[in-house]
Amino acid sequence: MPNQRVKNLKKELLSDHWYRLDKVTYDFQLNNGHWVTHSREAYDRGNGATILLYNKSKKTVILTKQFRLPTFLNGNQSGLLIETCAGLLDRDNPEDCIRKETEEETGYRVSSIQKVFEAYMSPGSVTEILYFFIAEYSDDMKIGAGGGLLEEQENIEVMELPFQAAYEMIQTGEIKDGKTIMLLQHLKIQGIIRE
């Protein structure tokens, strides 16, 4: 049911170059009953999915490293970010999307994936909801080098790391990506990889 405290919603397109940026004006009813007019910007890049591949027997995880311009602009001097495999849904459902992205980015074809949760990652300005998955991998699931698609200008390094080392990279600041931190913590909390 739509929120009855929001009315007179108007959108003005500001940019549609890479993704869509709208200026949105609307009236919002405060808790005291008064109405106020808000003007905000919302960035619509579509919804996405992410996955953390893990191997129980080797006690390892598969992560990726790639250049992320926004982090570079915000003080990450190399611009490189260590993160879980992820991608936009485009027209796919989350499961199909993440299977495709896993093959393209990591070179692994996983047989069984598990959805663990979904979350808005930056709800103050971005419309995206992200679907989070985990999957067990083995060496025989490797079907290619990974690294992403050239036509999408991807240049992705695939990293196989001991789980404990990856988890400690959160504390050292080597891993600063929110989705990656959430999935590493999920593995730790659930005891999926035991020391």
CATH code, domain with 90 = 3.90.79.10
pTM of the predicted model, to two decimals? 0.92
What is the domain range of residue 17?
Answer: 6-44
- Tell me, yes or no, whether 90 and 26 share the same domain: no
Helices 178-190 and 163-172: crossing angle in degrees, nearest 10, is 130
pLDDT at 151 over 70: no
Tell me the percentage of the chain whose pLDDT exceeds 90: 88
pLDDT at 192: 93
Mean pLDDT value across the chain: 94
- Tell me, yes or no, whether 26 and 122 share the same domain: no
36/131 Cα distance (integer angstroms) = 33
- Tell me, yes or no, whether 13 and 25 share the same domain: yes
pLDDT at 148: 74
pLDDT at 1: 80
156/175 Cα distance (integer angstroms) = 16
pLDDT at 141 over 90: yes
- Tell me, yes or no, whether 65 and 17 share the same domain: no
- Tell me, yes or no, whether 93 and 33 share the same domain: no
134/117 Cα distance (integer angstroms) = 10
**In a domain? residue 28:** yes
The region, left, alpha or beta by phi > 0 then psi within -120 to 50, assigned to residue 99 is alpha
Q: What are phi and psi for residue 38, nearest 5 degrees?
A: -110, 150
- Tell me, yes or no, whether 17 and 107 share the same domain: no
- Tell me, yes or no, whether 112 and 135 share the same domain: yes
- Tell me, yes or no, whether 90 and 154 share the same domain: yes
48: confidence class by pLDDT, cuts 50, 70, 90:
very high
Q: What is the pLDDT averaged over residues 176-187?
A: 98
- Tell me, yes or no, whether 83 and 175 share the same domain: yes
133 CB-near residues (< 8 Å, 6+ apart):
49, 50, 51, 52, 94, 95, 98, 113, 114, 115, 116
- Tell me, yes or no, whether 57 and 127 share the same domain: yes
Q: Which two tokens stand for residue 103?
A: 């093959």
- Tell me, yes or no, whether 53 and 24 share the same domain: no
Residue 87 burial class via C-beta count within 10 angstroms: exposed 0-12, middle 13-18, buried 19 and up? buried
- pLDDT tens for each residue of 63-84: 999 999 999 999 999 999 999 9
List, in sequence order, the alpha helices (H) in the chain: 69-73, 94-106, 163-172, 178-190
**In a domain? residue 195:** no
Per the structure, the count of domains in the chain is 2
